[in-house]
Amino acid sequence: MSVGISEFYINVGVLGEYYHWIYALLAFLIVSGLRKPITKYVMKIMLAVTSKAKTDFPRKMVKSFEGPFRVLVGFSGVYIALRLLNLPPNVDAVNLNLFRSLLIILIAWGFMNLFNQTSGVFESLAKRFSVEVNDILIQFIAKGTRIIIIALAVSIVVQEWGYNVNSFVAGLGIGGLAFALAAQDTLANLFGGMVITLDKPFTLGDWIETPSVEGVVEEISFRSTRVRTFAQALVHVPNASIVKEPITNWSRMGKRRVMFTLGVMYSTPREKLERCTRLIEALLIDHEEIDNEFIVVRFNEFNQSSLDVFIYCFALTTQWAEFLRIKEDINFKAMDILKEQGVSIAFPSRSIYFENQNFDEIPGAPNSKEISEESTQ
């Protein structure tokens, strides 16, 4: 009997040496298992509370911190388990700093989600304070805010580990001049981006043309503007360069210009030429997709090989493919008018006249004193 009691106390003593590890393992498993239910329950309560707010900002804030909170609950189980192990004080201090650093990073993560350009927070704030903002300005503010959040998070984490941030900031003042000289292009691009944001010569999705690039604007960042050319190439143009160039924004056209010259043959009688001119003008006036405000159809010039009729009007579209369809329709109908009136379209030609009194005496020559030859240039 005494032997059995002794064995029992020995087994209890052995287990007692490992009870810290057992408690730590149980704490980790319990918290890990309850991570999703805890997150779901807390988020449900917070969303119910914020649903009564007058704006959707509190609700978006709760949604932004859902992911960080889930990670925090999971790492809380690890932190509690490590605390239950009765580790040496220096190890506990390191664990505490790790947990505090993680907490700071998770808070920064939540605010970065909140101030993301796709979260709609900036649009809500602008609407709340009656401030007009566009996509470019929202993009700049969002990126600037996220950079500030990252910088603050890094500085706080560094301080948590005992490093002096003030000396680092003071060192920036000493090397500020060298940094400014080295970052001249970067600063120029930054200010160029600010000019684009404030002056708004174009926005995302606009079709622009400059001496260096033509295409559709896809993104405007602190450093450069990304333009997708019509050959589907992606061109990065530094902001400092693009603001110095003349910019044509084709997307802001209210209508597109149609301008071309129709040349007919010199043999066309005056009456037929005048009738064709008036019929083409009537065609444009009656066309539903042509702006009637300004239409010009005039016999304009005696060209080398043709009588030129100048046609000038505006299509009621800014879409390139649609514009080409309208212009094609005008061309076909103009051809029908010329055909009905018996007028031929001219082509580049040249008439050459030979004059020789003894031309008939030349062996093998045609019996004619004048030959007219037309050849295409």
pLDDT > 70? residue 262 = yes
Secondary structure in 3-state letters for the chain: CHHHHHHHHHHHHHHHHCHHHHHHHHHHHHHHHCHHHHHHHHHHHHHHHHCCCCCCHHHHHHHHCHHHHHHHHHHHHHHHHHHCCCCCHHHHHHHHHHHHHHHHHHHHHHHHHHCCCCCCHHHHHHHHCCCCCCHHHHHHHHHHHHHHHHHHHHHHHHHHCCCCHHHHHHHHHHCHHHHHHHCHHHHHHHHHHHHHHHHCCCCCCCEEECCCCEEEEEEECCCEEEEECCCCCEEEEEHHHHCCCCCEEHHHCCCEEEEEEEEECCCCCHHHHHHHHHHHHHHHHHCCCECCCCCEEEEEEECCCCEEEEEEEEECCCCHHHHHHHHHHHHHHHHHHHHHCCCCECCCCCEECCCCCCHHHCCCCCCCCCCCEECCC
CA distance 315 to 235: 30
Query: What's the pLDDT band for 377 if we cut at 50, 70, 90?
Result: very low
What pLDDT sits at residue 364?
A: 53
pLDDT > 60? residue 143 = yes
* Mean per-residue pLDDT, 78-103: 79
pLDDT in tens, 274-304: 999 999 999 999 999 999 889 999 999 998 8
pLDDT > 70? residue 361 = no
CA distance 208 to 214: 6
More reliable by pLDDT, 155 or 309: 309
CA distance 35 to 44: 14
pLDDT > 60? residue 73 = yes
What pLDDT sits at residue 368?
A: 47
More reliable by pLDDT, 370 or 259: 259
pLDDT in tens, 339-360: 999 998 888 776 666 665 555 5
pLDDT, averaged across the chain: 78
What pLDDT sits at residue 84?
A: 75
175 residue type, one letter: G
What pLDDT sits at residue 273?
A: 93
pLDDT > 90? residue 91 = no
Domains of the chain: 2-163 (no CATH), 182-251 (2.30.30.60), 253-377 (3.30.70.100)
Query: What's the pLDDT band for 168 if we cut at 50, 70, 90?
Result: low
Task: Give the pTM.
Answer: 0.49
Count CB-CB contacts under 10 A for residue 277.
20
Cβ-Cβ contacts under 8 Å for 377 (sequence gap 6 or more)? 348, 349, 350
What pLDDT sits at residue 2?
A: 47
What pLDDT sits at residue 126?
A: 59
Q: Which of 23-32, 207-216, 223-232, 362-371 has the lowest mean pLDDT?
A: 362-371
What share of the chain has pLDDT > 70, as a percent? Answer: 76
pLDDT > 50? residue 88 = yes
Query: What's the pLDDT band for 55 if we cut at 50, 70, 90?
Result: confident
Query: What's the pLDDT band for 110 if we cut at 50, 70, 90?
Result: confident
* Mean per-residue pLDDT, 154-167: 76
